Structure 1
């Protein structure tokens, strides 16, 4: 019994360390040295080197022959593709978001809530809002994004404070006070959409709308995003908010959303 317990403990530690090694590549750096991986994973360099060699054989990481630096391998891409394709929100939203990005020439994103952040499951860029990378699989804060504010409608004020005890300030425009956030969310619940102007990154803005499922709960949100000058909320907010709401509603219907029940209309508007 003691031997079996030790073996299970050693096996668990190996899995945890391998996961920590892969997690080191989520910091945003494309290629890492063994020493970098060891530091980020909190393990010794010899352990990191050994795990990287094993993961390389399994194609979870790749080693550049010239520099000796490591990056993620094709097996990770395969798993990520399978995982996102299994998400009902992604399957329902993908084509609609892609078509909308092409039509508007702007970015169209769909994300769900994962813990205390948003998690992107769709990201398409139009010609007027190009990016050199995809947002799919990345995370951003709830309180500083249009999508995140839509997702926060599904929580009441005490739940929001428990989930986000501190609201980090990213730019001068970030809402970093819970009372201000409560007021903002009340307006979003009434309007049916959220806006964000340079709250996460300077010179960027968006319009977002919530997506609901068959239980009438908010399960995701869709945003139309791009450069501040291109989104031009001072002149285009009404136009873009209508488009975002219509797209989000279309995805909601595909997820089985039956529409707001008359008796529960007030609670539905608040995402409850």
Structure 2
């Protein structure tokens, strides 16, 4: 069995102590409560402070939780709320389209799949929650890059690999595609990532009108497309789903 890393366990213990006790604690309080030498406790606190997880009051010298933990917590809550709000709508999208429905969010230089509804038939399928997809070639990724400045920066800086003969990797052509996505309100991936597979995706916004994710459907190109273009009814279903989730998140425009 792999051994735990002691320094990380101690850092976690410090954070739990600061979260569960008084608002601010001194170095001696923390060291005594956790059975640590003052030097060890001070080293842990200094590292946590440099990373923004802990803050020190300049007047009293006491420590409290830092703003970076709040940012990470809000990120988790945002994804959790997004998934919770999207559950019913993505189920409806899969039923209406007859294809698999996906919910994705930006994660580092890719798209993290946070919810996946199987295609409503008896075929063998694999749950893809937790899988990563590229930004530059997938419909979900292109939607995020079109509407989210952070995702756009990640796309520009990422390695844009070629997966099929249809994959676009040149930044100039990608930027033109992103302009078209913003004008249309949806993105497509027609055999750009997987041979024989096509996708359509649309953006999800929150109450601040910020893009927080994307929802889309994926299926065999012969079912999703006609004459190399996604079926209009499929596009409408995806966009309706995105609007519905956005409304549930408080986006007033929808």
Residue 175 of structure 1 and its aligned partner are, at CA, apart by 1.1
Tell me how far apart the structure 2 counterparts of residues 105 and 129 of structure 1 sit (CA, whole Å): 12
- Whether 2:220 is the aligned partner of 1:243: answer no
Structure 1: gaps spanning 5 or more residues: 1-8, 16-82, 261-272
Written as runs of structure 1 = structure 2, the 5 A alignment for 1:1-272 is 11-12=6-7, 87-127=80-120, 130=123, 132-153=125-146, 154-155=148-149, 159-160=153-154, 162-164=156-158, 166-234=159-227, 236-259=230-253
C-alpha change, 1:129 and 1:242, in structure 2 (3 Å) is farther
C-alpha change, 1:220 and 1:156, in structure 2 (3 Å) is closer
What is the total number of aligned residue pairs between the two structures?
A: 184
Counterpart contact for 1:105–1:125, Cα < 8 Å: no
Counterpart contact for 2:197–2:221, Cα < 8 Å: yes
RMSD: 2.8
Tell me how far apart the structure 1 counterparts of residues 201 and 152 of structure 2 sit (CA, whole Å): 23
Runs of 4+ in 1 over 6 A off after TM superposition: 83-86
Length-normalised TM-score, structure 1:
0.61
Tell me how far apart the structure 2 counterparts of residues 87 and 190 of structure 1 sit (CA, whole Å): 29
Structure 2: gaps spanning 5 or more residues: 11-75
C-alpha change, 1:159 and 1:84, in structure 2 (3 Å) is closer
Can you list the C-alpha shifts for 1:210-247, whole angstroms capped at 9, x where unaligned? 00011111110011110111112436432211111111
Greater Cα shift, 112-121 or 83-92: 83-92
Residue 115 of structure 1 and its aligned partner are, at CA, apart by 0.9
Counterpart contact for 1:110–1:120, Cα < 8 Å: yes
Tell me how far apart the structure 2 counterparts of residues 113 and 202 of structure 1 sit (CA, whole Å): 24
Tell me how far apart the structure 2 counterparts of residues 204 and 172 of structure 1 sit (CA, whole Å): 13
C-alpha change, 1:255 and 1:163, in structure 2 (3 Å) is farther
Residue 188 of structure 1 and its aligned partner are, at CA, apart by 0.3
C-alpha change, 1:233 and 1:214, in structure 2 (3 Å) is farther
Q: Partner of 2:66 in structure 1?
A: none
Tell me how far apart the structure 2 counterparts of residues 84 and 158 of structure 1 sit (CA, whole Å): 23
Counterpart contact for 2:93–2:238, Cα < 8 Å: no
